[in-house]
């Protein structure tokens, strides 16, 4: 089993999956750099670890969307639903991109899941999110 190297600590795939509590992780991205980081990570296909983070059979879904105010488009979005099986792989790939957007997005996702900067699942409450 692989681990995710965040720069501050190591997070196991099992820790991410436990934090997900059997539910897919959903996010709506509006930042162009974040969207590009996810696109690059997902489009790798099967990687050197023989893993994939986009498998529609698992429920993975990445669709373009938009935010509107009436008939005016405010911004374009990337609507993501990532399965329990795929999220750890996406996080590892984001960290491996070696760019600020990928690392920041991976860190933000881990915090939302309740995983601290040292890679330990402490819960959302402990991080002031609940």
pLDDT, averaged per 10 consecutive residues of the chain (130 residues), comes to: 84 96 97 96 81 91 95 96 97 92 96 93 87
CB 126 within 8 A of CB 37: no
pTM (2 d.p.): 0.92
Secondary structure letter of residue 68 according to DSSP: E
List, as own/partner pairs, every contact residues 35-39 make where C-beta atoms lie below 8 angstroms and the sequence separation is at least 24, other chains included: 35/76, 35/77, 35/78, 36/101, 37/94, 37/97, 37/99, 37/101, 37/102, 37/105, 38/62, 38/78, 38/80, 38/90, 38/94, 38/105, 39/78
pLDDT at 73: 94
Show the tokens assigned to 81: 């639903």
Element housing 104 (H / E): helix 100-113
Residue ranges of the domains in the chain? 3-119
pLDDT at 47: 75
Show the tokens assigned to 107: 């860190």
pLDDT at 1: 59
Secondary structure letter of residue 130 according to DSSP: -
């Amino acid at each position: 089993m692989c681990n995710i190297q965040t720069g501050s600590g190591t997070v196991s795939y099992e820790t991410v999956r436990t934090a997900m509590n059997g539910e897919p992780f959903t996010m709506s991205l509006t930042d162009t750099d974040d969207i590009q980081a996810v696109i690059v990570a997902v489009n790798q296909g099967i990687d050197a670890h023989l893993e994939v983070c986009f498998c529609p059979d698992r429920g993975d879904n990445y669709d373009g969307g938009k935010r509107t105010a009436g008939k005016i488009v405010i911004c374009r979005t990337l609507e993501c639903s990532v399965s329990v099986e795929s999220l750890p792989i996406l996080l590892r790939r984001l960290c491996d991109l070696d760019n600020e957007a990928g690392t920041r997005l991976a860190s933000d996702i881990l915090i939302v899941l309740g995983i601290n900067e040292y890679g330990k699942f402490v819960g959302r409450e402990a991080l002031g999110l609940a």
